[in-house]
Chains A and B, each alone.
Chain A
Amino acid sequence: MIRITGGKIYDPAQGIDGQVRDLCIDDTGKIVETVSGGRIIDATGMVIFPGGVDVHTHVAGGAINFARAMTPEDHRRTQAFIRTKTRRSGLGGMAPTTFATGYLYAGMGFTTVNEAAVPVLSARHTHEELADIPIIDKASLTLMANNEILLEQLEQGEYERAKQVLSWYLWAAKSYGVKAVNPGGVKAWKYGHDAKALDTPIDGYHRLTPGQIVTNLARICDDLGLPHPVHLHCNNLGAPGNITTTLDTLARLEGHRAHIAHSQYHAYGGDGWDTMCSETTVLAEYFNSHPNLTTDAGVVLFGDTVTITADGPWQHLLYKLTGRKWGNLDVENETGCGIVPYTYRPSNVVNAVQWAAGLELLLMIRDPWQVFLSTDHPNGGCFWRYPEIIQMLMSAEFRRECLKKLPDRVKSRIKLPELDREYTLLEIATAMSAGPARALGLTHKGHLGVGADADVVVYEEQVDIQQMFSHPRYVIKAGEVVLEDGDIREAPQGKEFLVRPAMDPATNDFIRPLFEDCYTMKFEHYPVELERIEHPDLRDCQPPATS
């Protein structure tokens, strides 16, 4: 049992904005009204947030492992975690190793993360890696927008069958939701092409278009009542002028819920690299008028990183642009993957526009319940650099200092110099915890109300915002003090969130012959067994009531 006294609580879900209250945690790791006895933590002069929730990151699975293997130069220069009594060894850097990932997330007050791109074929490996990430709770999303068996159902107009198939895949992967990456584009990449227009049939299909995939996946997620809506990586990522595609994609959602991933990469104007500019005003306005949508910003931070995405064609283009290392994976009938190490430079006009665009979205989307902190780790920057973003959001003066480092010719292409908004602590708590938890449908996360998971972070209030958010004084995970005064004290195993949407039992027999016709592994070996998930937490699906 723990009682935290004297701290200023920021709990957006309950509308508590810096009020000094006691916070009580019982032995089951839940927030309760009161406790008698137990440890008392004096948090006078400190601020208390719900544990951070990262709605979009890449911390486990084949792609990040490929990235780790491709960047040995980063391992030589990066922070090493030396084994101690409470900590296992590992490496930080651009793509931290599994144990280090847990320590680094917890080390800045994050207690839940969502691995946003898992092919079913590598789900087993991903779960093994997620189990190796200590302290934090995890969820994972399954890549479905280029799955050939699913696309075939959509091609034939078999919506109900497609819904059953998707439901089967989600349970086979033991995942939490649906990720759509470059719908149809990764499938087209197998023919050496891409899918940039939403109304043009995809290579290999007569009728099916990327727009239809978007509409159907969003509808299926809502009809299955998944806690998290479709998690959408739009077509045409990173390309100048892609705002048109993005707005067109959003229109295809037809009122369904959706989470738009790393929207910064989808908010560009211009008709070439020479004229590329930020079009975040239009995109932010769309979000402001559509409360059914949420997004994570996908902020770019200057420096070295490694980009990984299932968007294979984009990664090939990036490789061609940079001439750096390139890795490409083809995941049979499901998806693909590309890996390219990259350095974002302030002197590069395109990079400078990207940097500004991410911040602009965070500042121009008015409701912090709709836009969340992310770098699309590790694509825009490493997750352990989130405190840098927080500082830029909370200080317009600091942003102005940063803007001075950009080339003058960038200034006419971005909106950031005109923005004076500064986030309050309550808004930061919303964007880094309460908002993402609500978007993920994790009702027991992201708030400090009675019955919530006791994931709590205590920061010492400081003028140096980056320092404050980089080094919490205490981090409590499920009622256990895991970090105190900068040291990992305990490294418990977190949970993994799963869903089991309703499914027609005959779907198994429907998929089997299709599977055996085109996959290289046995059908029986394909689904991940529930026993493989070390600490599963099955969340409810709430399909709409049928009339």
Chain B
Amino acid sequence: MPVTLRLKRPPIVPLEAEFLSPDVLATLSHAEISAMIVHHGKRRLPLSEFFDVEGERSEDLVLHGELHKLRWVGRGMRRGSITVHGTIGMHLGAYMRGGRIDVHGNAGDWIGAEMKDGTIRIRGNAGGQIGAAYRGAMSGMRNGLIMIDGSAGLEVGMRMRRGTIVVGGPTRDFTGLQMKGGTILLRSGAEIRTGAWMQRGTIISLKPLQMMPTFTYSTTTTPGFLPLLSRHLAPHGITLPTGPYQLYRGDRAVPGKGEILVLA
């Protein structure tokens, strides 16, 4: 039986609960989970102040409610699953190293920031800085898979080094900013400055993009790796046209060796 938390008192200010991770909950009794301290703004309160708690000692966590003020859920998790029925706040799955997070609703900024492995799926929209590096850090996500069914905000995949991000809806500015590796699949395109300062990595767009002048058109091609990527994403119900694609190289301002593929 999973540990289930149902919101009973919406927080007024951000509620920080980085212990809400399967690694931690797997060893805790019902009473211990209820007594865990969360930070409501600067106040330290027990979790039971905000949630009805069911279940204990489980690697599966289920959250119910409009939790857009709940932050840091699944931080650094290595195993198990988190399922959210409703919205969820910032930093979901930040630094995660394994396991699976499934959100049936919208999510905030910094989802999967600096994650090293695992899978995150957001069925609704998400904020910005998906899989990104925190300010000052050298690298964003280093592995894993993030899938956003809806739209996403600014700086998706900023400084990511490896891993895959798939966004179903449109993304805002600076997608793939300073990207160092990995793959971003944009099913509905992006706003401006896509791939700015990217060094390496691949951005695939199924819709036309407004290309920066520092990217150079190279060729129209059908890349050989796309069937592999398709096979990787197929279990999640995501399909990918095999091409042809227009290949752009850049960002020459760095100078970088990244590639942007736009479906022809």
Q: Which residues of A contact B138 (CB under 8 A)?
A: 73, 324
A-B interface contact total, Cβ < 8 Å: 15
A71-B136, A76-B134, A324-B138 known, 12 other contacts, Cβ within 8 Å? A70-B136, A72-B134, A72-B135, A72-B136, A73-B134, A73-B135, A73-B136, A73-B137, A73-B138, A74-B136, A76-B137, A325-B136
Q: Which residues of A contact B137 (CB under 8 A)?
A: 73, 76
Within 8 A of A (CB), among B58-96: none
CA distance A73 to B134 in the complex (A): 7
| Contact size range, A | under 10
- Proximity bits, B116-152, A CB within 8 Å = 1, else 0: 0000000000000000001111100000000000000
15 A-B pairs, CB-CB below 8 angstroms? A70-B136, A71-B136, A72-B134, A72-B135, A72-B136, A73-B134, A73-B135, A73-B136, A73-B137, A73-B138, A74-B136, A76-B134, A76-B137, A324-B138, A325-B136
Q: Enumerate the 8 nearest inter-chain pairs by beta-carbon distance, A residue then B residue, closest first.
A: A72-B136, A73-B136, A73-B137, A72-B135, A71-B136, A73-B134, A76-B134, A70-B136
CA distance A240 to B199 in the complex (A): 29
Within 8 A of B (CB), among A58-87: 70-74, 76
Residue of A nearest to B199 (CB): A323
CA distance A325 to B138 in the complex (A): 9
Chain A interface main SS type: helix
Q: Which residues of A contact B135 (CB under 8 A)?
A: 72-73
Residue of A nearest to B135 (CB): A72
B residues near A, CB below 8 A?
134-138
- Proximity bits, A408-439, B CB within 8 Å = 1, else 0: 00000000000000000000000000000000
A residues near B, CB below 8 A?
70-74, 76, 324-325
Residue of B nearest to A77 (CB): B137
Q: Which residues of A contact B134 (CB under 8 A)?
A: 72-73, 76
> Smallest distance from the beta carbon of B256 to chain A beta carbons, Å?
11
CA distance A188 to B96 in the complex (A): 48
Q: Which residues of B contact A70 (CB under 8 A)?
A: 136
Residue of B nearest to A69 (CB): B136
Q: Which residues of B contact A325 (CB under 8 A)?
A: 136
> Smallest distance from the beta carbon of A319 to chain B beta carbons, Å?
14
Residue of B nearest to A72 (CB): B136
Q: Which residues of A contact B136 (CB under 8 A)?
A: 70-74, 325
Q: Which residues of B contact A324 (CB under 8 A)?
A: 138
> Smallest distance from the beta carbon of B252 to chain A beta carbons, Å?
15
Q: Which residues of B contact A74 (CB under 8 A)?
A: 136
CA distance A325 to B137 in the complex (A): 10
CA distance A155 to B12 in the complex (A): 67
Q: Which residues of B contact A72 (CB under 8 A)?
A: 134-136
> Smallest distance from the beta carbon of A487 to chain B beta carbons, Å?
24
> Smallest distance from the beta carbon of A156 to chain B beta carbons, Å?
46
- Taking each of A73, A74, A324, A325, which has the highest tally of chain B beta carbons within 10 Å of its own beta carbon? A73
> Smallest distance from the beta carbon of B16 to chain A beta carbons, Å?
14
Residue of B nearest to A325 (CB): B136
> Smallest distance from the beta carbon of A363 to chain B beta carbons, Å?
34
Residue of B nearest to A71 (CB): B136
> Smallest distance from the beta carbon of A283 to chain B beta carbons, Å?
34
Q: Which residues of B contact A73 (CB under 8 A)?
A: 134-138
CA distance A70 to B137 in the complex (A): 10
CA distance A496 to B138 in the complex (A): 38
CA distance A324 to B134 in the complex (A): 15
CA distance A227 to B87 in the complex (A): 67
> Smallest distance from the beta carbon of A153 to chain B beta carbons, Å?
43
- Taking each of A70, A74, A76, A325, which has the highest tally of chain B beta carbons within 10 Å of its own beta carbon? A76
Q: Which residues of B contact A71 (CB under 8 A)?
A: 136
> Smallest distance from the beta carbon of A66 to chain B beta carbons, Å?
13
CA distance A70 to B136 in the complex (A): 7
> Smallest distance from the beta carbon of A325 to chain B beta carbons, Å?
8
> Smallest distance from the beta carbon of B201 to chain A beta carbons, Å?
16
> Smallest distance from the beta carbon of A91 to chain B beta carbons, Å?
14
CA distance A70 to B134 in the complex (A): 13
> Smallest distance from the beta carbon of A219 to chain B beta carbons, Å?
45
CA distance A71 to B137 in the complex (A): 8
CA distance A324 to B135 in the complex (A): 14
> Smallest distance from the beta carbon of B178 to chain A beta carbons, Å?
11
CA distance A76 to B135 in the complex (A): 10
